[in-house]
């Protein structure tokens, strides 16, 4: 979260203390905050299995987006390591 806030030029307000790991759902959820009576987790579609995608289609998409990713890395000064 710190890297995202820094990248966006925002004051670091959201930290790890705002989250907890929900072992039932299998991912982090927001802690209870002012105005909320309970913690907040994303819906039941979060964490679902993704469909199988043909590796050839994935490679075509990577090739297509490679120059756009390279330009984005130049603009941001950050290499996100996307293949």
Whole-number Cα distances in Å, 52 to 10, 42, 49: 37, 23, 9
**Exposure on the CB side of residue 7, measured as CA atoms within 13 A:** 11
Asked whether residue 47 is marked as a ligand-binding residue, the answer is yes
Asked whether residue 52 is marked as a ligand-binding residue, the answer is no
Asked whether residue 50 is marked as a ligand-binding residue, the answer is yes
Asked whether residue 49 is marked as a ligand-binding residue, the answer is yes
H/E stretch holding 6 reads helix 2-7
Instruction: List the binding residues for 3'-phosphoadenylyl sulfate.
Output: 46-50
Please report, in range form, the residues annotated as the binding site.
46-50
């Amino acid at each position: 979260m710190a890297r995202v806030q820094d990248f966006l030029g925002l004051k670091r307000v959201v930290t790890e203390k705002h989250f907890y790991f929900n072992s039932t759902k299998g991912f982090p959820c927001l802690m209870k905050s002012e105005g909320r009576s309970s913690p907040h987790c994303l819906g039941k579609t979060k964490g679902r299995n993704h469909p199988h995608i043909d590796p050839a289609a994935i490679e075509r998409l990577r090739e297509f987006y490679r120059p756009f990713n390279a330009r984005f890395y130049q603009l941001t000064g950050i290499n996100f390591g996307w293949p």
